[in-house]
Chains A and B, each alone.
Chain A
Amino acid sequence: MEEKGLPRLAFFSFTCCEGCQLVVLSCEDELPDILSLVNIVNFREAMDQKSDVYDIAFVEGSITRAEEVRKLKKIRKNARIVVALGACSSTGGLNCLKNRWPMEEVKEEVYGKDALKSGLFATLPTRAIDEIIQVDYYLHGCPISKKEFLNFTTSLLLGKRPDTTNHPVCVDCKMAGNTCVFEKGMTCVGPITRAGCDAICVTYGAICWGCRGLVDNPNTDAHAETLKRHGLTADAVMRKFSLYGTCKTRKC
């Protein structure tokens, strides 16, 4: 059933909620068109077929086990292009919150004392995939934005270099016509977070949680001061920065 000459796409999933794959599956209108332009050769959540021959690998999830490290390295070897799909894969995402504690303690808390003996619960500190392999492109967000995924895929198929957003969420937020959350008496990390999400969380009444990671050259010191001016303690500021930023604060 594989059509010759079309780019072969593969989707892989490591430690995560698989929500980013679901965003891909939710492109109901576009899926039939996409499928006429590519061969999807690996997508465990949706199909039986499995193959090791592919051009573009979309990798979702962060890396928390030795087995995953091996699989990820194999993917890098097989694929021409590796794309980190979503926050867990790009920055480690929320999974990094467990890195705040020693791994033995984490295991014992959830599975009890016996867990320490069993290999099944083996866990490493959470890592983003680029801490292990070289990554060609990043699709940020928890979950990814459908629009960004489609734009990205279109560019890739046209042979164009996909655009990467590199401005803070505040810009998207203004463009969406939102009232600033600071004016509503709340605080957020939008000023230092990479945009591309259309500030959807603020549009729907919440705050920017920072899921897309830091923008390049973020002025975190100034923002920490701003947060303190709005009544946050130093601890609370650290907590705010750490929700999605425990893994790494370097740019990605």
Chain B
Amino acid sequence: MKKNLNIKIHEITRVEGHGNIVIDVKKGEIKELKLEIIESPRFFEAMLRGRRYDEAQHIMSRICGICAVSHTSASLKAIESVMDIKISKQAELLRKLAFYGETLQSHILHLFFLVLPDLAGTGSIVPLLASHPELARTGLELKRLANDICAVVGGRHIQPISLFPGGVVHTPKPRELKRLREALAGSFEGLERMLTFLNDHPVHEFNLKREYISLKDRGEYGLYNGDPVSSDGYAFKPESYTKKIKEYVVEHSAAKHARTRGTFMVGALARVNNSFRQLSPRAKAAARMAGLAVPAYNPFLNNIAQLIECYHSTENSISVIDKLLLMGPKPEPVKKPKAWGRGFGVVEAPRGTLYHEYKINKAGLIEKAVCIIPTAQNLRSIEDDLRAFVPELLDRPKAEIARAVEALVRAYDPCISCSTHIMDVKFA
């Protein structure tokens, strides 16, 4: 295997944002390997400075078009921790419903629009409409349903409107919730279809042991609430995340990298590994069908983990809707700030743990903002994987290597807009 290989994938397609993969192998040895993040930096921390506290969620949700509900939620939790208030039961249920909607929407988009073309050997979902019409239609329908959940609660599926500091400023009508419930109950068939398809397309056998970090909640699978835990057996409070997670700048990436003591991974696979027992019954059944045993160390299984979470989010959306219908949703005033100072908000965005931290002065203006983005936390893990994965592939044709490498990066569902934005594999 004294092979030379030079791959530069420029602007990886079917990922969110702009990035390149650069691989240089001389005589079977990796000389250079990096994931260049070439997305334009956005400087949100600077954008937020001097703005009013109740503009933060509006501004921060614009970090990402896919996971705007997550950014809004982390932002609101941070603001509300500063304000020293607790939102009402109804507001929390509505926010969770929007959150499940976004988890679904993001995972469906990734699985059906970005990953499926890899497995079916087409470049996009467009040829899929002809070659796999049923699956492509299923994807479109599931995505519409997920968007609809976010729209019923938040007003629209991209950039939610009604999630506001102190509560939720719009109350969905019972008939809208019932309509969603009915559609959700009928959507499992579509998920089964994807599960069968993924089962028919075995993933690369590639395992690399690593640390997984995700939120762990009491009584339910950690998504909207919970404190960070590690598969290495320690937990920490959101306010001490900077002590546990160190962000650092690397030369080839406009997104910062992050490490704990070593490399760690966040996202669906981390959550499924860390909180498997709290998954809903159908989600567990799907995991069994897919033959997923935890802890799973194959990053390609992140796709399956996302599908498992689709089952979980669907079942939980239904139970949240049932609770809301039982309460009879009514308009509520938002809670007013009781204090100012420093606050933290942390949630499990579709791609992993998301931290926001703000300092707000007595005039209600933001003095400092920090946020740690899931994809930034995964960049180091992706590069570690590539370093271990590429040598296994060296006897294959170059085009196949490039495809496999892109598929690996894509399995992480990187969100480069978020991490600043990512990707593309360049052939030099």
Measuring CB to CB, which residues of chain A are less than 8 angstroms from any residue of chain B? 1, 13-23, 25-26, 28-29, 31-32, 35, 40, 43-50, 64-65, 68, 93-95, 97-98, 100-101, 105-107, 109-112, 114-115, 118, 120-121, 123, 142-143, 200-201, 203-206, 209, 236, 239, 243
Contact = CB atoms under 8 A, between A and B. Distances in A.
Can you list the 8 inter-chain pairs with the closest CB atoms, starting with the nearest?
A19-B65, A205-B169, A47-B124, A204-B155, A48-B123, A97-B47, A15-B40, A204-B161
A111 B275 CA distance: 33
B50 interface: yes
A18 B14 contact: no
Interface of B: 11, 13-18, 37-38, 40-52, 55, 58-59, 62-66, 68, 109, 113-114, 117, 123-127, 129, 140-141, 143-144, 147, 154-159, 161-162, 164, 168-170, 249, 251-254, 256, 417, 421, 424
B46 A109 contact: yes
- Candidate in B113, B157, B249 with the most chain A CB atoms within 10 angstroms: B249
Contacts of B58: 209, 243
B159 A19 contact: yes
B65 A21 contact: yes
A201 B161 contact: yes
A143 B47 contact: no
B45 A120 contact: no
28 contacts: A14-B40, A17-B62, A19-B65, A22-B65, A23-B158, A46-B114, A48-B124, A68-B40, A94-B59, A97-B48, A98-B42, A107-B41, A109-B46, A110-B41, A110-B44, A111-B41, A111-B249, A120-B251, A123-B40, A123-B43, A200-B161, A201-B155, A201-B161, A204-B169, A205-B162, A205-B170, A236-B52, A239-B51
A26 B157 contact: yes
A200 B155 contact: yes
A205 B161 contact: yes
B40 A18 contact: no
B140 A115 contact: no
Nearest to B37: A120
Contacts of A68: 40
B41 A143 contact: no
A200 B151 CA distance: 11
Contact of B14 (A48, A97, A200): A48
Given A45-B16, A65-B40, A143 B158 contact: yes
Contacts of A46: 14, 113-114, 124-125
Nearest to A233: B363
Given A111-B249, A204-B155, A49 B41 contact: no
A239 B53 CA distance: 12
A151 B204 CA distance: 45
Contact of A45 (B14, B37, B252): B14
Contacts of B49: 101, 109
B257 to A, nearest CB: 12
A142 B62 contact: yes
Contacts of B143: 26, 28
A85 B168 CA distance: 29
Contact of B45 (A1, A26, A109): A109
Contacts of A118: 249, 251
A32 B63 CA distance: 29
Given A18-B417, A32-B129, A64-B40, A98 B155 contact: no
B43 A98 contact: yes
Contact of B113 (A25, A32, A143, A236): A25
Given A23-B158, A111-B256, A115-B249, A106 B46 contact: yes
Nearest to B36: A120
A47 to B, nearest CB: 3
Contacts of B162: 204-206
B421 A18 contact: yes
Contacts of B424: 44
A81 B255 CA distance: 33
A47 B45 contact: no
Contacts of A23: 158
A235 to B, nearest CB: 9
A115 to B, nearest CB: 6
Contact of A106 (B16, B43, B159, B252): B43
Contacts of A26: 143-144, 147, 157-158
B101 to A, nearest CB: 13
Nearest to B424: A44
A50 B14 CA distance: 12
Contacts of A44: 11, 13-14, 18, 424
A227 B44 CA distance: 27
B253 A205 contact: no
A109 B368 CA distance: 10
A120 B253 CA distance: 7
B154 A204 contact: yes
Contacts of A13: 18
A230 to B, nearest CB: 15
